[in-house]
Structure 1
Amino acid sequence: MLRCNRLLLLSAAASFLSCLLLGTPLAASGYESRIVGGENATATGAPYTVAIRSTANSFLCNGILISNRDVLTAAQCVYNGSTVRKASEFQVVLGTLINSNTTTNATVRSVWRVSPHESFNTTTRINDLAVLRLNENVTSINTVGFGATTPAVNRSCDLFGWGANTTTGSPAVTLQRIKLQVQTSSSAHCLRTTGGTALASGMFCAGDLLAGRGACTGDLGAPLLCDGTLYGVLSLVGGCGAVNETSVFTDTTKYITWIISKVQLAVTKPSGGGAAQVVLNIGVLVLSVVCSIMMAK
């Protein structure tokens, strides 16, 4: 019976990981032209993008749903100065394109646990990731899949966020979508964004150099999706879409094992199910490494 339970758990883990890695493709069209380099997103375009708000009802950051109970965002979004904010300070709004917790049909969740990367550097923004564990499961909302290798230079990807449309503007009311191209990390454009500092491993930059389109204030934590799959989380905004400006992203393909470990560690151990939970955790971690290697070949 125990052997059977282990097989079932490993099978479930494989299904979970497959969903995480493969995801659901974005719709090929259906976006409405919009202001300052952005477009209004559609419900089918990015159903897993979420708004992270304070319980005082102000917008804080963007995030993305990676399981039915976990949201991935930038680590800097969960800090107040050098202190990690309490879970009770956050509210997550899902299933809506409108940046409001009172929108009809929006799903609102409080946060149970905040898990920033243990080695996040507030100065260099290395390891700029955090996982928010929600207080209860989310249903009827898609979760995103993860890319397995760093996106190639010149690959076209979509950034989704509620950031401002101008340097002095307020967060957007409607979720915005901007198409960016992955840039060479050592290029002058990328180095200008970082103030001349070379990008560390686990980071890459992207922007639309010719059109002057890009991220802006309030887009931190926003997901960068290539063909509907997650490859980056916005860490550093460069120039609010000015010509030849890029933004820096945490490369989520380098953090798959860490992300899955945080998702599993955040699960409350069920009464009498400790051994089964350990098997599930190990199964997910082993499968994540194996599948990432296979997909990278």
Structure 2
Amino acid sequence: MSSLYSTLSTSMPWFFPAAVFLFGACVGSFLNVCIYRIPAGQSVVRPGSHCACGKPIAWFDNIPILSWFILRGRARCCGRPYSFRYPAIEALTALLFLACWLLFPPAKALCGMLFVSALICATFIDLDHFEIPDVFTIGLGVAGVILACAVPSLHGQAHEIFIVAALRSGVIALKGLLIGSALILWIALIAEAVLRKEAMGFGDVKFLGAIGAFCGWQGAVVAIFGGALLGSAWFVLALAWGKIRGRKVQVKALEPGDEPAEIGMGAHVPYGPMLAAGALLYFLVLHRWVDLYFEQIGALL
């Protein structure tokens, strides 16, 4: 198997990246189903893909990314428009899968693909419903600890004896889960005491624990504060864009039937997407520099 992998990588260096991109696009199509059905308590397997009018979607109209452009964003059966978000999620998943493959060894890349998929689902479900289902918090955290033991390279562990590397990696994942969830829980409790209202949902606490299981406690810290910085940047850009357009920027209402709220200090904005963005930046790009920084701080202390 390894010889076949080496042969294909040498003779056709484009083969595996192209295959991973196509695989990511197909997974992205499935994530669209999960994002819509899981919050509604529906099966993600049955029935098959169907239009809002109830008619099944043919396989040739369900090609990831391409079908939306071929059909010009409208269903073939009834002509109803459907959101550009569908191909956008498929393309995003494909690109992030490709990034995992290019940046990491194959085993860690596969773990990264699972992590990325969960982050994408959690992000868009939180944007739509202001909640993150337990499968993407508790389930992801358990998966992170198990994968850390099965694939020690997930946390950069290597040893001549596999069980030693597996235990070290598992401990890192468990510490990340516990420290990450505890840290954001204290932040939420302090903010609630200061603001005298709920500042953060418990789903975010569980979600950060899951991030810590895949990224370690350092990644959890980056997700909290990096996510806050990214959220602040989005906040400023949204306000600036509203000024340019001459209209107020609104965010989705927290409760069904409520009017959208004008963006401002009192607006309820989901924190899950910000945590996911910070975690993604750490996992793909920043981990080397962040880990080195914390090592240097630890040496000084």
TM-score class, shorter-chain normalisation, is under 0.3
Larger radius of gyration: 2
Q: TM-score, normalized by length of structure 1? A: 0.26
Higher relative contact order (CA 8 A, sep 6+): 1
Q: TM-score, normalized by length of structure 2? A: 0.26
More strand by share: 1
